[in-house]
Structure 1
Amino acid sequence: MGMILLNPGPANTTMGVKLAQIVDDICPREIEFGQIMQDVSSGLLKFVQGSSKARAVLFGGSGTLAIESCLSSVVGSEDKIVIIVNGAYGKRMFDIAKAHEKNVIAFESDFLSPIDFMQLKVFLESQKPQFVGVVHSETTSGLLNDLKQLSFICKPLGIKIISDCMSSFACYPLNLNEIDYIVASSNKNLQGMAGVSFVVANVDNLKKASHSRSVYLDLKAQDEYFTRTQQMRFTPPVQILYALKKAIEELCIETLEGRYLRYKKNNSILRKGLLGLGLEIFPKESFGVIITAIKMPKDIDFKTLHDTCKKQGYTIYPGKIEGLEMFRIANIGEIYPYHIEGFLNILRQFLQNLVGENA
């Protein structure tokens, strides 16, 4: 393996996924390629519970495209949506809804602490929205928002949940009996290539997703066209879809539980090693097994640390919380505990050299 990517996607992929892109050229309107997309769409449903009447609607584009499609298509002009903002990606959801002139209100919560669900319940009871938007695994920090608890609050109030599951799909079990719209992409825990995103929802909910003013982002139109023709309305990323089909096959072999346990072991080694080096890590509670935020040691700038790690084959990621000097380490993709140990050794040597220089 070349560079070890400790950024939160695109993630390291297997050689099998890489090689799956090397195929004969094909017109994406051919029946054979329609079958590839059908295999991908149905394959994604294997990792979602409560999906007997669900479909996965595919788009060519990054995860943000599918988020924008979902928000713009699902929320009508007479609806209200509350977006839970406890990270940069929750803020992005809010900005998208605002750009599409939706009646949107933010429920702001601390970026590094669990949601106060009692406070949220009171807020939702007073605002009476039809929808709530939330990021399941907030890539800003690694905070894991409790979808089960959120569903417990929302369902009795008749509120539907739109969840950004970019950093949780293909690792955590997701249930359409708890959340109504699952949005994710090909290039994180699925361990495919970047370029495909998708919305998973029950058919009844997809039929109602007709409110987008965008031609490209129209979720209902995308779903209906694919159901009728087994084609995307617009040119799909052909090779990326071949790679995603292979990635789905590999995940079926590893199993969802197996992938979760591998990531969990990676994350456990990472967190233990970082604490052993005297570093402060976040979140301190309600954290997932995907990504960890680390307070930058005193007198160190991110670029110096990044460049040192990169020279030795590891890519790390900057922080994304305004006013806090942090960096982030993701432990997803085709990486294993020995890769995490290798990074910790590099970081340990870096910190020791820093102490020596300052002695």
Structure 2
Amino acid sequence: MVTDLIYRNFSPGAADARSSWEKFFTKPYLYPRDAEFSSLIRDVSVGLQEFCQTDASVLLLSTAGTGAVECAIAALPGDTKAVVIHNGYFGERLFDVARYHLRNVSAFELPFGEPFSIIHSDKFIKFANGQNADVLICTHLETSSGVLNDVALLGDVGKSVKAITIVDGISSIGSVECRLKDWGINCFIASTYKSLLCPPGLSFIVADSRFIAKAHRKWSYFFDMERLISVSMKSQYLWSPNPLALHCLKQVLNDINKEGQDEYFGKLQEKALNFRNKISQGGLKIFGNPAFLSPCFTILQLADNNASNWLSFLKENYGIVIGKGLGNDPEKYLRIGHYPNIAAEDFDFLADALLTVYRELKGNIRA
């Protein structure tokens, strides 16, 4: 084992952006009921509306992304007929959350790694109509496979079958453009600690009038949707806030707006393509349809179920932290998160290390 390593986090969990948080540690703590704090909430909410290209309501809450998912889904009436697109580990999680709270839940199942796209349109419409669905649910970015689902298609199908649409954008927000109004999404759920580079603990729900009219069931004291909507309309915050995360989020949104979304997301895509080109040219196999890959996650497919060996070797010899697969075949895949704050030279370091380990482990990744 090499000593004195500089550890680099490329895991697909929360982004490590601690260096950018430090400047907010000295900001005075704001009392959550005073005017200055309300102004901060208002600035962040308006910033998120602009960023997500919507005029729908922004509901901020202190929880992980899955907590926000449960808050939204569980507020629906118990007799809601929901269809969940299931093409990976997090699609399955959405299905499990929906089944926990709703009595009529069906899964539209696709093979692992196959993105929901236009080729599924007719079959999905038929399936949704057959279930008399009034709610359609899917992930935007299925992080177990690294593929993006076509949420604009989900919005179109929702209009066609007169169903409300709910999208889990926890991993996609901040890595790809978000056009909620154009997509026709009624409820969009996201967290701020991945590609938006904020400290863990802050998530949000973007909810339009159709969703709000339907989401009125009281199932939890903490996740009370009606109270969450009420305080949000007053630029207040339900329960104890995380001022550090709010200040960070305001700064991140301002920085992206100054640069321009086209420029910002273009750079992320370019970095991802350069990284993937380098490792694939060296013999590594990237999982998923290239046309649907996310700019912030890369999944490598292993030939000999040995992901744990890779993780240990990379950490002990290079200080590199990545993740292994999720679901039924965790040893078959390596999951790499490359968030916006990771520099190009770090991508190069990661690519060189992966290619070296590939040779050291004698090509145990399928070429």
TM-score over 0.5 (shorter chain): yes
Structure 2 equivalent of residue 85 of structure 1: 86
Of residues 157, 160, 163 in structure 2, which corresponds to 1:159? 163
The amino acid across from 2:50 in the alignment is: K
Could you give the per-residue CA deviations for residues 104-143 of structure 1, whole angstroms, max 9, x where no partner exists? 1111111211333332122112112000000011111111
Contact in 2 for aligned 1:166/1:185 (Cα 8 Å): yes
In structure 2, C-alpha distance between the alignment counterparts of 1:306 and 1:155, rounded to whole Å: 48
TM-score relative to the length of structure 1: 0.90
Structure 1 equivalent of residue 282 of structure 2: 277
After TM superposition, give the deviation of residue 214 of structure 1 in Å. 0.9
In structure 2, C-alpha distance between the alignment counterparts of 1:333 and 1:197, rounded to whole Å: 18
**What does residue range 226-265 of structure 1 map to in structure 2 within 5 Å?**
226-228=232-234, 230-265=235-270
Of residues 139, 142, 145 in structure 2, which corresponds to 1:138? 142
Structure 2 equivalent of residue 63 of structure 1: 65
Of residues 316, 324, 327 in structure 1, which corresponds to 2:334? 327
Structure 2 equivalent of residue 344 of structure 1: 351
Segment drifting more, 167-176 vs 40-49? 167-176
Q: Secondary structure at the match of 1:215?
A: coil
After TM superposition, give the deviation of residue 251 of structure 1 in Å. 2.1
Of residues 339, 353, 359 in structure 1, which corresponds to 2:360? 353
Could you give the per-residue CA deviations for residues 9-65 of structure 1, whole angstroms, max 9, x where no partner exists? 31132744332233223322222122212211111111122x23x121000011111
Contact in 1 for aligned 2:279/2:355 (Cα 8 Å): no
The amino acid across from 1:315 in the alignment is: V
Contact in 1 for aligned 2:310/2:357 (Cα 8 Å): no
After TM superposition, give the deviation of residue 306 of structure 1 in Å. 4.2
If asked which structure has higher relative contact order (CA below 8 Å, sep 6+), I would say 1
> In the superposition, relative to structure 1, how do residues 71 and 277 fare at CA in structure 2: closer, same or farther (>3 Å)?
same
Contact in 1 for aligned 2:322/2:334 (Cα 8 Å): yes
> In the superposition, relative to structure 1, how do residues 125 and 342 fare at CA in structure 2: closer, same or farther (>3 Å)?
same
> In the superposition, relative to structure 1, how do residues 22 and 104 fare at CA in structure 2: closer, same or farther (>3 Å)?
farther
The amino acid across from 2:339 in the alignment is: I
Q: Secondary structure at the match of 1:282?
A: coil
In structure 1, C-alpha distance between the alignment counterparts of 2:344 and 2:329, rounded to whole Å: 32
**What does residue range 104-253 of structure 1 map to in structure 2 within 5 Å?**
104-115=105-116, 116-170=120-174, 171-177=176-182, 178-228=184-234, 230-253=235-258
Contact in 1 for aligned 2:58/2:206 (Cα 8 Å): yes
Q: Secondary structure at the match of 2:91?
A: helix
> In the superposition, relative to structure 1, how do residues 181 and 194 fare at CA in structure 2: closer, same or farther (>3 Å)?
same
> In the superposition, relative to structure 1, how do residues 212 and 333 fare at CA in structure 2: closer, same or farther (>3 Å)?
farther
Q: Secondary structure at the match of 2:27?
A: coil
Of residues 9, 33, 36 in structure 2, which corresponds to 1:32? 36
The amino acid across from 2:79 in the alignment is: E
Contact in 2 for aligned 1:291/1:329 (Cα 8 Å): yes
In structure 2, C-alpha distance between the alignment counterparts of 1:355 and 1:156, rounded to whole Å: 52
Aligned-CA RMSD value: 2.2
Segment drifting more, 310-319 vs 55-64? 310-319
In structure 1, C-alpha distance between the alignment counterparts of 2:218 and 2:334, rounded to whole Å: 37
Contact in 2 for aligned 1:81/1:103 (Cα 8 Å): yes
Contact in 1 for aligned 2:322/2:335 (Cα 8 Å): yes
Q: Secondary structure at the match of 1:333?
A: coil
Contact in 2 for aligned 1:208/1:220 (Cα 8 Å): no
The amino acid across from 2:239 in the alignment is: F
In structure 2, C-alpha distance between the alignment counterparts of 1:350 and 1:303, rounded to whole Å: 10
> In the superposition, relative to structure 1, how do residues 337 and 36 fare at CA in structure 2: closer, same or farther (>3 Å)?
same
What number of residue pairs does the alignment pair up?
A: 351
TM-score relative to the length of structure 2: 0.88
After TM superposition, give the deviation of residue 267 of structure 1 in Å. 1.4
After TM superposition, give the deviation of residue 82 of structure 1 in Å. 0.5
After TM superposition, give the deviation of residue 89 of structure 1 in Å. 1.1
In structure 1, C-alpha distance between the alignment counterparts of 2:301 and 2:162, rounded to whole Å: 40
Segment drifting more, 332-341 vs 84-93? 332-341
In structure 1, C-alpha distance between the alignment counterparts of 2:259 and 2:142, rounded to whole Å: 25
Segment drifting more, 308-317 vs 111-120? 308-317
Matched, 1:12 2:19: no
| Uncovered stretches (5+) of structure 1, i.e. residues with no partner | none
> In the superposition, relative to structure 1, how do residues 221 and 245 fare at CA in structure 2: closer, same or farther (>3 Å)?
same
> In the superposition, relative to structure 1, how do residues 306 and 31 fare at CA in structure 2: closer, same or farther (>3 Å)?
farther
Could you give the per-residue CA deviations for residues 75-102 of structure 1, whole angstroms, max 9, x where no partner exists? 2133211111111111111111112244
Matched, 1:302 2:311: no
Contact in 2 for aligned 1:207/1:220 (Cα 8 Å): no
Structure 2 equivalent of residue 267 of structure 1: 272
> In the superposition, relative to structure 1, how do residues 269 and 212 fare at CA in structure 2: closer, same or farther (>3 Å)?
farther
Q: Percent identity?
A: 26
Structure 1 equivalent of residue 3 of structure 2: none
